[in-house]
Every structure is written in structure tokens, then in C-alpha cells.
Amino acid sequence: MKVSSNKLQVKGDPGLAYRRISNFSELGGMMPSQVQGWTATENTCSFNVGGMAQISMRIAQKVEPSLVVITSDEGSPFNFTLAFHFTPGSQGDFVSQVEAEVGVNMVMGAMIKGQMQKFVDTMNQQIKTFTESQA
């Protein structure tokens, strides 16, 4: 199952958003309220969402300042990938989009699709809010 946030126009430096997303220890304050027990290093983290099993993830790819790819790590109850895309604009702005791909069966996918959509939309809005507040 794959979900994508809307593309948001963000005023500011894409490098600022990239630096924030590419370091898990900087992300704690951006997590939605459903995320509990957040622990992180620069490249790995773990947490619980709404009482589910612990989810662990790691940064799999970084392309400064345009892409950060995060994948599930050992011990996660399912495989997933999160991709943060920052496309530089021409006037000190950029377009931000978050994509999530979750390896679950169709029934589970139907059950969590709405929550995943809310998650990517919330993350993308947090990126916009953070970046524009720093400009």
C-alpha cells in the first residue's frame, strides 16, 4: 500500500528541512500525538503508535538537500519505506512531499490507509511549519 501527501509549497531553504529530517534525534517534536515512546540516534529510532508493537526504523538514503529515505529496521512488525522529497524552487522556496509505502496485506492496508494518509499529511505540514518558522 502506498500513500502520498499533497505537494506543499514551502518558503525557505530546502537544506533546513533536509537537515531536520535526516537526523532522527531532531524529529521528536515533529511526531504526531499518536507516536509514543520515541527514542532516537542520528540514523535510527524506535517508537510505538497507538499501542501497537514497537516500530524501529533507520535512514537508508540521503541526497542533500532533496531526498531522505527511511526504512523499517529489524524487529518492526511490518516493512515500510518513507520518502521525503524536497524539490528546490526558483525564489527561495521548495516543494515538499512525503510518501509512505507499507508492506501489509490488502485487508490490513484497507484498515490503516486513512491513518497512514493522515500521518504523511501531518509530517509534511510539520516540515512546512518548521521551515517557514525558521526563515
Q: 87-132 pLDDT, tens per residue? A: 998 888 999 999 999 988 888 888 889 989 998 999 899 999 999 9
Least confident of 27-41, 52-66, 85-99, 119-133: 27-41
Mean pLDDT score, 72-92: 90
Closest CA to 7 of 85, 81, 95, 67: 95
Give residue 27's pLDDT: 78
CATH of the domain at 82: 3.30.530.20
CA 127 – CA 84 distance, rounded (Å): 10
Lowest-confidence segment of 1-10, 75-84, 90-99 by average pLDDT: 75-84
Range of the domain at 56: 2-134
Asked if residue 13 lies in contact with residue 131, where contact means CB atoms within 8 angstroms, the answer is yes
Gap between the terminal Cα atoms of the chain: 35
Could you tell me the pLDDT band of residue 36, with boundaries at 50, 70 and 90?
Answer: confident
- pLDDT value at 59 more than 90: yes
Kindly give, in sequence order, each residue whose CB lies less than 8 Å from that of residue 106, ignoring residues fewer than 6 positions away: none
Residues 130, 101: Cα–Cα separation, whole Å: 24
Distance CA 78, CA 55 (A): 8
Question: Is pLDDT of 71 > 80?
Answer: yes
Query: Cα separation of 92 and 121, whole Å?
Result: 23
Q: Has residue 32 got a pLDDT over 90? A: no
- For range 19-28, the mean pLDDT: 88
Q: What is the pLDDT of residue 86?
A: 98
The number of domains in the chain is 1
Of the candidates 120, 92, 116, the one whose C-alpha atom is nearest the C-alpha of residue 104 is 116
Q: Residue 8: its pLDDT value, please?
A: 97
What was the pLDDT predicted at 78? 82
